[in-house]
Amino acid sequence: MSKHEPSNLQNETQGWFFEVLHNRLVMAGSCILILLVLSALTAPLWVKAGVLRSPIQQFPTGLDEDGMPMSASGQFYAGTDNLGRDVFSRVIFGTRVSLTVGVAAMLTATLIGVMVGVIAGFHGGKLDLLLMRFTEMNMTLPAILLAVAFAGVMDGRILHLHPSGLPWHWLDVELKRGMASLFLIIGLVCWPGMVRVIRAQVMAVKEREFIMASRALGASDSRLIFHHILPNIMPTVIVMAVMLTANTIMLEAGLGYLGIGVPAPAPTWGSMINDGQPYFITAPHLVIVPGAAIVLTVLAFNLLGQGLQEMLDPKRKG
């Protein structure tokens, strides 16, 4: 019996679909997310069509007589920043950075977290002990402090991964701050949070009869893991991954706020708040607008995660 759950797939999918429609949290979260993803994807098209201004162009009309940022008006929907750039357009383009970095970091962290959790839970014994201690070590460091230290390494120098003496320059890695290094940093910092839950789930699934049955039929460890255990813990992984994305986006914003995120002139929400702070008293929109964008995005992922969790485990809401 290789297919452990003989079920009517179509019925199951339909059931899920109706449940999604009925869960208001899931609906609210996914509606906001669809809107955000759409605006992120289509932003360059709007600029081409002339509806949206370029996010990095500095407009002379965007500064008042004293050269100060202007608040919202009919011309600039969310005002301008200290360089005369359109805040509304920058916030829209910031969605691209936030979502890309956030989702890529989530995938990195999920991959590592699930791998460590599954190996620890499935293997048990000494390896389990070792992996869990290593995870705990990583958990003792505040994520933001760790990410700050990591981000400091990215200064444009070249890391030679090839053995000295061999001219394998394709193995050289340039340590440069950008979207790629940023999502790797955040991913490397965020994985320990997943391990415990995944490990506990794997340990529970491992003891069920169908695992024993396929083991008795001679299934290999990798077959057990990939065909039987992973599909069974997938719902948990998805809920945790959605909630993790809220964290990775928050961390990206925090690093941008500290001035060590994706470098200028790329529009990121965190760096917009950082740049806007000195003008807060006269132009509070420079802080309010990008902050609201962060709240909306993180809220969307949290609502979606919360709702999916309820669907998964209806008797324990919350």
Partner 1 sequence: MLFRLSSRLFWSAVTLLGTAVLTFLLVNAVPGDVARVIAGPKASADVIKAIHTKFHLDEPIWKRLGYHLNDLAHGDLGQSFVTEQPVAEAILTRLPTTAAVSALAIVMWMLLAVPLGVLTAKYSGSWFDRIVLVLSTLSLSLPAFWLARMLQYSLSYKLGWFPVAGFRGFSHLLLPAATLALLTVGYYARLVHSNMTEVLNSPYIRAARAKGASETAVLFKHGLRNAMIPVITVLGMDVAGLLGGVLFVENVFALPGIGTLAVQSVFNLDVPVIMGTVMFSAVIVVGANLVVDVLYRWIDPRIKSAA
152 lies in the binding site for partner 1 (CB under 8 A): yes
Q: Please count the residues of the chain.
A: 318
Site for partner 1 (CB under 8 A): which residue of 15, 41, 42, 142?
Answer: 142
Q: What are phi and psi of 182, to 5 degrees?
A: -65, -45
CB of 100 to partner 1, least distance (A): 18
Q: Convert residues 51-80 into a mask of x (bound to partner 1 by CB under 8 A) and - (unbound).
A: ------------------------------
Contact 202, 118 (CB under 8 A): yes
Site for partner 1 (CB under 8 A): which residue of 44, 134, 238, 263?
Answer: 134
318 lies in the binding site for partner 1 (CB under 8 A): yes
139 lies in the binding site for partner 1 (CB under 8 A): yes
Site for partner 1 (CB under 8 A): which residue of 111, 221, 284, 312?
Answer: 284
Q: How far apart are CA 258 and CA 291, in angstroms?
A: 14
Site for partner 1 (CB under 8 A): which residue of 87, 273, 283, 308?
Answer: 273
Closer Cβ to partner 1, 44 or 124, answer by number: 124
DSSP 3-state of 250? helix
CB of 168 to partner 1, least distance (A): 22
Q: Convert residues 287-306 into a mask of x (bound to partner 1 by CB under 8 A) and - (unbound).
A: xx--x--xx--xx--xx--x
CB of 313 to partner 1, least distance (A): 10
CB of 149 to partner 1, least distance (A): 5
CB of 3 to partner 1, least distance (A): 33
Q: How far apart are CA 42 and CA 100, in angstroms?
A: 14
CB of 24 to partner 1, least distance (A): 8
What kind and span of H or E run contains 173? strand 173-174
Window 238 to 267, contacts with partner 1 (CB under 8 A): 246, 250, 253-254, 257-258
149 lies in the binding site for partner 1 (CB under 8 A): yes
Q: What are phi and psi of 65, to 5 degrees?
A: -55, -35
Q: Is 230 exposed, middle or buried (0-12, 13-18, 19+ CB in 10 A)?
A: middle
What kind and span of H or E run contains 55? none
Closer Cβ to partner 1, 12 or 24, answer by number: 24
183 lies in the binding site for partner 1 (CB under 8 A): no
CB of 300 to partner 1, least distance (A): 8
Strand partners, 80: 86
Closer Cβ to partner 1, 73 or 277, answer by number: 277
Strand 158-159 vs strand 173-174: parallel, antiparallel, or unpaired?
Answer: antiparallel
What residue spans of 68-227 are helical by DSSP H? 87-123, 125-139, 143-153, 179-190, 192-206, 209-216, 221-223
125 lies in the binding site for partner 1 (CB under 8 A): no
The tokens for 85 are 């750039």
DSSP 8-state code for residue 261: S
How many residues touch partner 1 under the rule CB under 8 A: the total is: 45
Cβ partners under 8 Å of residue 76, min gap 6: 53, 62, 70, 86, 87, 88
149: amino acid identity, one letter: A
The position carrying tokens 């991913």 is 187
**Residue numbers of the site for partner 1 (CB under 8 A)?**
25, 133-134, 136-146, 148-150, 152-153, 155, 157, 246, 250, 253-254, 257-258, 273, 277, 280-281, 284, 287-288, 291, 294-295, 298-299, 302-303, 306, 316-318
